Amino acid sequence: MRLRSGSRDEPEINLIPFIDVLLVILIFLMLSTTYNRFTEMEVRLPTADAEPSTTRPREVIVAVAADGRYAVNRQLVADRSVEGLAAALSGFAKPEAGGNGANGGGGNNTILIISADAAAPHQAVITVMEAARRAGLMQITFATQTTGKAAR
């Protein structure tokens, strides 16, 4: 009687049907899940008794010409240095009466609008920004022109 020599077929687990079942379960879960939409949530906002502020902030317009000249509220500034421009702006940086300092300017509610010529040197605009910092004007914005394309 002969016994088989050592080569035996080992049973294998076929993973392909297992993967198929997992994919079907995954697809089922994805399709049956309801997604919460935050836009449909009912939110009750708290009420406030405070009235909206009717005061507009003061605006200071600094014009920068193409040749580097400065004008503060249409008044030409003779001194083109940072110190001279800061001295011209310092009168506008004084806190208003009743200011609470909530905007970071120590009660200062003044907005500096820089209206620079397109051909003005960049250093002239940087000088205005540095002078505004020294004068305590922290809210700075730039004036621009809108083109016909942007208005459509």
Mean pLDDT of the 5-16 span:
79
Residue 22 resides in a domain = no
pLDDT at 57: 81
Residue 103 CB partners (closer than 8 Å, separation 6+): 109, 138, 139
| Cα 1 from Cα 54, distance rounded (Å) | 110
Residue 90 resides in a domain = yes
Pairing label, strands 70-72, 110-116: unpaired
Residue 44 resides in a domain = no
**42 falls in which pLDDT band (50, 70, 90)?**
low
Q: Of 69, 91, 66, which Cα lies nearest the Cα of 80?
A: 69
The range of the structural domain enclosing residue 124 comes to 58-97+105-146
Residue 75 resides in a domain = yes
Whether the model clears a pTM of 0.75, i.e. scores above it, the answer is no
Q: What is the pLDDT of residues 97-145, one digit of tens each?
A: 544 444 444 446 789 999 999 889 999 999 999 999 999 898 999 988 8
Residue 53 resides in a domain = no
| Cα 57 from Cα 117, distance rounded (Å) | 24
Q: What is the CATH number of the domain that holds 87?
A: 3.30.420
Looking at the structure of the chain, the number of domains it has is 1
